[in-house]
Amino acid sequence: MPIATEVLVVGLGAMGSCTLAALARRGVDAIGIDRFAPPHTEGSSHGASRIIREAYYEDPAYVPLVREAYTEWARLAVESGRPLLHQTGGLCYGPPDGVLVQGALTSARAHDVAHELLDAREMTRRFPAHRLPAHYMGVLERRAGWLDPEQCLAAALEVAARHGATVRTHETVLAWEPSAQGVRVTTDVATYEAERVVLSAGMWMGTLVPSLNARLTVQRNVLYWFASAPPVFDATRFPVFLGELAPDLLWYGFPDVGAGVKVAMHQHGPTCTPETVDRTVHEDEIAAMRARLAVWIPEANGPLRRTAVCTYTNTRDGHFVIDTHPASDRCWIVSPCSGHGFKFASAIGARVAALVSGDASAPLPDLFRLDRLDRP
């Protein structure tokens, strides 16, 4: 006999776990399922740290949402008793006319984000680990920092369960379809009859929504941790950063908080599928990262402590997809997030839970509409 519920959340990464917690807080009868046991290392929501920043170079439309996310992460931290957000300040640097510096300045000025504009000499004085070209500029914002993704997911799922939600792991969706009661979902374990469904399955979205397949690209990205010599890499002298090394070549990094300096390229990996993700980090990849460190952050080029592989699920314009499914307004698509969604998950979860519950007081930006992907 099918299991009945008001809302079924499929995929319990950042978006799904936060949506489930927000639904449960509202008193909604909700079940969340995941093919693994989150927090896990098979998708996007892992790696010990994720940057949160306010002077959002991608588009000023994100700034109100990230401000809401700060509030929601703080709420979740209090509810769970877990440390989630660590503020270090954040530095975006690059050519003065580059997409990163210009985009960060545009958002900061549009939304009165507290920031400083620094030249290369001042950046080097304050943050001596960086070696920057003389013409580079930087945007420094004090409110930026990093979130612990594993702690965030654990906290969200704990809060969801405390408020009455059911969390089911190691369960894979085989099919879903609109039904008289709402949406019927069949997994390898059970069948569900839900009034509404939230699909937040990351790189598996193309399987759940085949019409998205041609409009999404899954990308493999590698994270690296290198041993460093404090104090130059502690949070006061080495805040989280995002740097433009060349046109269309960005990287990012974190201070050493015990595990080494973490660095990674942004939107720079090969395409793959959920079935073909290469989880091995190869010597030529490590050598390429070491070559960049030797030029840009030479003192971080110490012994390699750890690597990890994560995936981005990208749209062609780099923005999210959060919208109802064309075949059923009872089904919500809450993914993909193009490699920069984690920081927003607490706010998006709260807004999606409201919309799914019939509360339209906090709509999502039109930037996230599904039908935009059909435009030339």
Segment 104-130, tens digit of pLDDT = 999 999 999 999 999 999 999 999 999
Segment 297-353, tens digit of pLDDT = 999 999 999 999 999 999 999 999 999 999 999 999 999 999 999 999 999 999 999
Nearest Cα neighbor of 218 from 314, 149, 130 is 314
Within a domain: 69? no
* pLDDT classification of 355: cutoffs 50, 70, 90: very high
Distance CA 184, CA 178 (A): 6
Distance CA 20, CA 18 (A): 5
Distance CA 334, CA 94 (A): 32
pLDDT at 180: 87
Within a domain: 268? yes
Residue 155's CATH number: 3.50.50.60
Backbone angles phi, psi at 237, to 5 degrees: -115, -5
Nearest Cα neighbor of 34 from 210, 157, 218 is 157
Hunting for tokens 């690296």 — which residue is that?
224
277, 297, 314 — which closes off a domain?
314
Residue 121's CATH number: 3.30.9.10
Residues 6+ apart with CB under 8 A from 342: 14, 44, 45, 50, 147, 149, 152
The answer to whether the CB of 205 falls within 8 A of the CB of 333 is yes
Q: Does residue 225 sit in the same domain as residue 336?
A: no
Q: Does residue 166 sit in the same domain as residue 207?
A: yes
Within a domain: 67? no
Q: Does residue 31 sit in the same domain as residue 118?
A: no
Within a domain: 58? no
Within a domain: 277? yes
| Whether the predicted model's global pTM rises above the 0.95 cut | yes
Hunting for tokens 């839900």 — which residue is that?
194
Nearest Cα neighbor of 330 from 201, 166, 199, 173 is 199
Q: Does residue 172 sit in the same domain as residue 300?
A: no
272, 287, 314 — which closes off a domain?
314
Segment 26-77, tens digit of pLDDT = 999 999 999 999 999 999 999 999 999 999 999 999 999 999 999 999 999 9
- The H-assigned helical ranges of the chain are 14-25, 63-80, 99-110, 120-126, 149-162, 205-208, 283-296, 345-356
Domain that holds residue 276: 90-142+217-314
Residue 168 burial by CB count (10 A; 0-12/13-18/19+): exposed, middle or buried?
Answer: middle
Question: Taking the CB of residue 362, how many other CB atoms lie within 10 A of it?
Answer: 13
Q: Does residue 369 sit in the same domain as residue 288?
A: no
Give me the number of domains the chain comprises.
Answer: 2
Residues 6+ apart with CB under 8 A from 364: 322, 323, 348, 351, 352, 355
Q: Does residue 280 sit in the same domain as residue 239?
A: yes
